[in-house]
Chain A
Amino acid sequence: MPHQLAQDLRLPTNLLDYAILAIYFIVVLGVGFAARRSVKTSLDFFLSGRSLPAWVTGLAFVAANLGALEILGMAANGAQYGVYTVHWYWVGAIPAMVFLGLVMMPFYYGSRVRSVPEFLLHRFGPSSHLLSAILFSAASVLIAGVNLYALAIVLEALLGWPQWVSIVVSGVFVLLYITLGGLSSAIYNEVVQFFVILAGLIPLTIVGLKRVGGWSGLYDSLTGAKGDNFMTAWGGTGIGSDNPLGANWLTIVLGLGFALSFGYWTTNFAEVQRALSAKNLSAAKRTPLIAAFPKIFIPAIVVIPGLIALVIAPNIGQGDGLQYNDAIPLLMRDLLPNGVLGVAVTGLLAAFMAGMAANVSSFNTVFTHDIWRGYLVKDRPDEYYVVTARVVTAVGVVLGMGTAFIAATFSNIMNYLQTLFSFFNVPLFTVFIIGMFWKRMSPAAGFWGLLAGTVAAMINYFWFYKGGLIDIPSDQGANFVSAIIAFVVGAIVVLIVTPLTKPRPVEQLAGLVYGTRSPGLEELPEAGDEAWYRKPALLGWGAIILAALCYIPFSF
């Protein structure tokens, strides 16, 4: 990632564009103030009182992941790796989201935990709980910082704002609306952000496609310039053959599709929190499933602009000029007139705020509920924890500002994020999935599995790969391999430690392990939930089939 984007990316914004941006900021803050009166208990602040409809939590689920880093990073991947980038969506995100909704959500939502680490507490006890709560809090602050830094660079290049202005303005807005309204205002703003982002990116893609002669024009020029495989999803991914991604089909499917994506989507509390705020179990299950459908089509407005940018500026990512991350800003500058340009700038800012707000709202929950209340200051009245959560939100945002500069060392933002996720989330998923289906698995196995998997991934990435001991052609390829190693090492440690240690008494596992139920927490189905379009199985399998069908045009 460049410290500074090329100066000539400055957008020709005018008063109309700034009016659109100003209206957005007013609305964001208004949502925060209006949501404030609904915050009475800590449950309201952390989980919107478990009251939201599935379409709201579903769109927030997808928006929380559609941060500016995701948008710029995936467009960058499109320009760098070509159509391979769709694997992050169709073989990566979709099956994992469906798995979260259909398989894991009954345990998460059904047990009434407030956070993903809290599930670990009840299933495995305090040591793995504390480990994951601390890792998650640190990662959240770090990623919020990455977000802020990336935004500051982009806004400096596009609007000429000094970096500190962007950091302070955006940080303060996120801080204000989450402190006021808690998760409700984070989620509501994410839903609004989702539509603003679409309103910015769809016109960009349409005009961009016209510029390069439609899809066929795009296809022909990139196949001509980059070779036949660049515009296919699987071409050149045979084991031993060479491709831009530096990964073969096996590491794509197992590393990205299984280990990395399942680890990210099923255990990342920033996402799962949205589902936990749904009003009943059916709505919670449907949250990631409803999110899966827009997610299938997001490559069309993120990866395609990356490809278009490569046609317009063939030297992007080579040398000192434009970087891969400049793909979308470049198209905005060259193609959008004032008006839509303002919407696109607002969308980019909105995307940044969505990503950061998701991190901050999940951070304040885990830190306040799991760490502060769990170990430091127990047994205070509920009101005390609402106040604490508000203070923690402010502290988290300020810490995020401080960590903003860690991002500077990696050339591609996504690589950096994926690296982090492969270290934290994959072993977490390993431990969860075994613990949910194997009653015997012991608390000690949970802790050591988590630790061993995380350390193994770090050793593989930083020592074996960066140290040159194994030969993997790219950072992405190394991420996929590290994720597989994290999963396998975590699982092996779990299998070895469990027989040697004491299991948790079965009566403590009610509702936490397959085949058990939380006594007294069964709910009556809500009227209307029997409708066919609300059946989780149908939605889930529908999303998987649709994602598989999307591969067809890019496979032959």
Chain B
Amino acid sequence: MTNGTNGPHGSHDSAAADWQEEEKELEQRSASAARLFDVRRVIGFLFVIYGLLVTLAGLFVSDEDLMKAQEININLWTGLAMLALGLFFLLWLRLSPTVPPPSAEERERRSAPRERPSHGE
């Protein structure tokens, strides 16, 4: 893509610069949209596990711990809140699942208008 005389990342002479052409091509080849998992699942499971562990600690709270935390059963409340957050993310994922990436032909159709010359200027 570089002709070597115009500095790095290609020449800047053409209207649609070479580097932008290359970026478009890489966006087509990119695998992230198709293969990357949904982070909501990770947050969901982690916080459900944390929530259960900390809630359990709150259920078996010692007087000493209660004293230390100014008579708030902070483990219980934090644990329940974390559990709720974890369940919220799992529910959100359930209700609005990962959008499958557009198929190759759909992408073609979507990117087609990009190819038309712009009339804006």
| Chains A and B come from one and the same complex | yes
Chain A residues within 8 Å of B113, by CB? 522, 524
Q: How many angstroms between the C-alpha atoms of A434 and B7 in the bound complex?
A: 23
Does A517 have its Cβ within 8 Å of any Cβ on chain B?
Answer: yes
Chain A residues within 8 Å of B72, by CB? 206-207, 210
A34-B37, A192-B42 in contact; A207/B15 too (CB < 8 A)?
no
Which residues of A are in contact with B by a Cβ distance under 8 Å?
Answer: 16, 19-20, 23-24, 27, 30-31, 34-35, 37-44, 48-52, 56, 111-112, 114, 118, 121-122, 125-126, 129, 184, 188, 191-192, 195-196, 199, 202-203, 206-207, 210-211, 279, 334-340, 343, 370, 373-375, 378-379, 382, 507-508, 510-511, 516-524
Q: How many angstroms between the C-alpha atoms of A16 and B52 in the bound complex?
A: 12
Partner of B33, one of A122, A279, A379: A279
Partner of A338, one of B34, B57, B71, B101: B57
Interface string of B12-27 (1 = CB under 8 A from A): 1101110110011011
Do the beta carbons of A382 and B26 come within 8 Å of each other? yes
B106 vs chain A, min Cβ distance (A): 12
Write 8 A-B pairs (CB below 8 A) sorted by A numbering: A40-B29, A43-B27, A49-B31, A203-B74, A210-B70, A507-B15, A518-B20, A522-B113
Which residues of B are in contact with A by a Cβ distance under 8 Å?
Answer: 1-2, 4, 7-9, 12-13, 15-17, 19-20, 23-24, 26-27, 29-37, 39, 42-43, 46-47, 49-50, 53-54, 57-58, 61, 65-66, 68-72, 74-75, 77-79, 81-82, 85, 101, 110, 113-115, 117-118, 120-121
16 more CB-based (< 8 A) A-B contacts, given A192-B39, A207-B70, A507-B15: A41-B29, A41-B30, A43-B23, A44-B30, A112-B19, A122-B9, A126-B7, A191-B39, A199-B47, A207-B74, A339-B78, A343-B54, A378-B4, A510-B15, A518-B20, A522-B113
A-B pairs with the 8 shortest C-beta distances? Answer: A49-B32, A49-B30, A374-B8, A339-B57, A337-B65, A40-B31, A51-B33, A38-B36
Do the beta carbons of B65 and A338 come within 8 Å of each other? yes
Please indicate which of the listed interface residues A42, A114, A520 has the most CB atoms of chain B within 10 Å of its own CB. A520
Q: How many angstroms between the C-alpha atoms of A37 and B34 in the bound complex?
A: 10
Do the beta carbons of B29 and A340 come within 8 Å of each other? no
Do the beta carbons of B16 and A192 come within 8 Å of each other? no
Q: How many angstroms between the C-alpha atoms of A195 and B78 in the bound complex?
A: 12
